[in-house]
């Protein structure tokens, strides 16, 4: 069962609410002997951290991570390493401002999980969305940093934002180096500028907008994953769809696969310059039969616009009285932006699990 845990062998469990004292996770199943300090985790959290540009929420959270267990420094080891014991990570909440949320205590915000949490649990921590807040994703990013350690340097996980609202990037301009030179993790510098204007208008209108994230993972060897319900792409789909506001997941050709002919979809094989098998195309996104091909994994996920907007919307109170609601708190006008490091982390977490699962079969 997995209400708040993810993974099988490399497994993490997250906890914490948006306005509780802290949030965190426990990472279980991490192999021993990997170098790990807070400095390995913090940079990834910093990528996701709020308040870094005018296009994201202005909540000020340092998101300083603390490792509470599972590592040990000994003069016989080369610095602090994992011990095989569960790794507990904690991040304190600093800038909560709970008063911002008191007016939505009894009102179900459209597009939010307010109504469904009440339907399921009968009680709801309404402060900042409580457990349904995207703040939970900080714990995923922290766990993902450990997953990257398990995967090692030969596997490269990179994501970019390729669409904001209706505006898509120009793929001819794709430049991975550009991703960190703008506020959007955008691989196309020109489009990034247009998005900046788009976003200014959206923010001014008190609205929000969706986006599309694309992930490319290089260096995964052929053979990870498993039929039939342990498929690598099924696990990736689950991981991506678990991210707040995700509404669609594509692998390789994705939705376009429906329109393809068989001779186009089947990626032909040939010998590469190194005498090893290679593919002439990658419509399958690096996965065949649920198992990695050795090609790049290509995954896209669509993120809906946040429902926290200043524009008034019709809704009901918990007492079933019609009312309107608008959100005045600090929010991301495009949650897809900060979703980029989260998607990377989830990919790392799925892959670390599958690396261990594959190794088990070689016992």
CB of 324 to a copy of itself, least distance (A): 9
Tell me whether residue 6 or residue 44 sits nearer to a copy of itself (CB atom). 6
Q: By CB under 8 A, which span of 36-44, 51-59, 171-179, 305-313 interacts with a copy of itself? A: 305-313
Here's the x/- map for a copy of itself, 39-58, by CB under 8 A: it reads as --------------------
Residue whose CB is less far from a copy of itself, 77 or 177:
77
Rounded distance, CA 236 to CA 193, Å?
31
Beta bridge partners of 16: 23
The C-alpha angle with vertex 155 and arms to 189 and 271, in degrees rounded to 5, equals: 95
User: Which of 265, 282, 329, 330 touches a copy of itself (CB under 8 A)?
Assistant: 265
CA distance 125 to 225: 38
Instruction: Quote the distance between the C-alpha of residue 204 and its chain's center.
Output: 27
By the rule CB under 8 A, 273 interacts with a copy of itself = no
Choice between 177 and 355, CB closer to a copy of itself = 355
User: Could you give the 3-state DSSP secondary structure of residue 324?
Assistant: strand
Q: Closest CB to a copy of itself among 39 and 361? A: 361
Near a copy of itself in 196-255, by CB under 8 A: 202, 207-212, 221-231, 233-242, 246-255
Tell me which DSSP letter residue 107 carries. B
In whole angstroms, give the CA distance from residue 69 to residue 71. 6
Q: How far apart are CA 231 and CA 208, in angstroms?
A: 35
- Choosing from 8, 47, 158, 330, the residue that interacts with a copy of itself (CB under 8 A) is 8
The yes or no reply on residue 314 touching a copy of itself (CB under 8 A) is yes
* Torsion of the alpha carbons at 239, 224, 139 and 160, rounded to the nearest 10: -70
Residue 280 CB, nearest distance to a copy of itself (Å)? Answer: 7
Mapped to the 3 state alphabet, what secondary structure does 289-309 carry?
Answer: CCEECCCCEEEEEEECCCCCC
Which of 39, 172, 177, 320 contacts a copy of itself by CB under 8 A? 320
148 interacts with a copy of itself by CB under 8 A: no
Longest alpha-carbon distance in the chain = 70
Q: Which of 47, 158, 313, 330 binds a copy of itself (CB under 8 A)?
A: 313
Residues 90-119 that bind a copy of itself (CB under 8 A): 105, 108-113, 115-117, 119
As given in the structure block, the two tokens for residue 94 are 């600093």
**CB of residue 116 vs a copy of itself: minimum separation in angstroms?**
4
């Amino acid at each position: 069962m997995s209400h708040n845990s993810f993974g099988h062998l490399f497994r993490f469990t997250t906890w914490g609410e948006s306005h509780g004292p802290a949030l965190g996770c426990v990472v279980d199943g991490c192999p021993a002997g990997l170098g790990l300090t807070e400095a390995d985790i913090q940079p990834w959290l910093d990528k996701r951290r709020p308040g870094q540009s005018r296009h994201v929420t202005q909540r000020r959270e340092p998101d300083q991570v603390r490792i509470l267990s599972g590592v040990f420094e000994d003069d016989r080891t080369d610095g602090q390493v994992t011990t095989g014991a569960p790794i507990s990570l904690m991040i304190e909440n600093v800038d909560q401002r709970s008063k911002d949320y008191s007016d939505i205590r009894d009102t179900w915000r459209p597009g939010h999980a307010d109504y469904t949490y009440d339907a399921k649990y009968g009680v709801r921590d309404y402060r900042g969305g409580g457990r349904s807040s995207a703040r939970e994703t900080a714990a995923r990013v922290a766990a993902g940093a450990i997953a990257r350690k398990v995967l090692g340097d030969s596997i490269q996980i990179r994501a970019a934002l390729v669409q904001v609202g209706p505006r898509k990037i120009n793929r001819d301009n794709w430049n991975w180096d550009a991703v960190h030179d703008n506020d959007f993790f955008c691989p196309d510098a020109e489009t990034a500028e247009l998005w900046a204007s788009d976003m200014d208008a959206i923010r001014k209108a008190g609205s929000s907008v969706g986006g599309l994230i694309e992930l490319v993972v290089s260096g995964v060897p052929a053979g990870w994953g498993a039929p039939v319900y342990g498929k690598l792409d099924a696990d990736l789909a689950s991981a991506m769809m678990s991210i707040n506001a995700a509404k669609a997941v594509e692998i390789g050709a994705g939705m376009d696969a429906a329109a393809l002919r068989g001779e186009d979809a089947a990626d032909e094989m040939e010998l590469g310059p190194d005498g090893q098998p290679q593919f002439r195309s990658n419509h399958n996104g690096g996965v065949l039969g649920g198992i990695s091909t050795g090609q790049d994994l290509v995954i896209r996920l669509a993120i809906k616009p946040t429902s926290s907007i200043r524009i008034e919307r019709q809704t009901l109170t918990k007492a079933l009285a019609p009312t309107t609601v608008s959100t005045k708190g600090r929010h991301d006008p495009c949650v897809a932006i900060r979703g980029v490091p989260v998607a990377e982390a989830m990919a790392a977490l799925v892959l670390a699990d599958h690396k261990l699962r594959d190794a088990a079969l070689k016992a």
